[in-house]
Amino acid sequence: MNTKFKGSPVNVAGEFVKAGAKAPNFELSKGDLSTFKLADGKGKRLLLNIFPSLDTSVCAMSVRRFNQLASQMENTQVLCVSRDLPFAQSRFCTAEGIANVTVLSDFRYKSTFGEDYGVVMTDGPLNGLFARSVVIIDENGNVVYSAMTADITDEPDYDGAMKALSK
């Protein structure tokens, strides 16, 4: 799958996960440097808000918006995933009053999550970072929704994600 950055094509490694597939296992780092695994969310729905970096305005907006929406989601944990360092993620959440989502970093496990989920950009100015995407995994570990933005500078489809969660 490919996306764009400000209208210019960007290639993405791997195949973007699709609804109906089993969610690939992952290990990501939490703010305290402990590990969060896919299995840690068993029995809950997981909404993965995947993005390049909290240091961009659109990424920051998506985390703020999903933080607001998280309080309306039943049996759902919102995971905000990037390659930002956990320290930077924690600093952002503290400064912004973000308390309803879990921020996760792939700084330690770079070779698995991005390629397994098909979100790591392989060229363009943000080469090596994640393409903006939302993936929803049900209580049984199946992908029930996946959407990558047409352009990395676009916000994710919040309404589409919320609609998928209401099913």
Catalytic positions:
59
8-39 b/e (C-beta count within 10 Å ≥ 16 → b): eebebbeebbeeeeebbebbbbbbeeeebebe
DSSP string computed for 26-83: -EEE-TTS-EEEGGGGTTSEEEEEE-S-TTSHHHHHHHHHHHHHHTT-TTEEEEEEES
* In contact, 149 and 133? CB cutoff 8 Å: yes
| Single-letter amino acid code for the residue at 14 | G
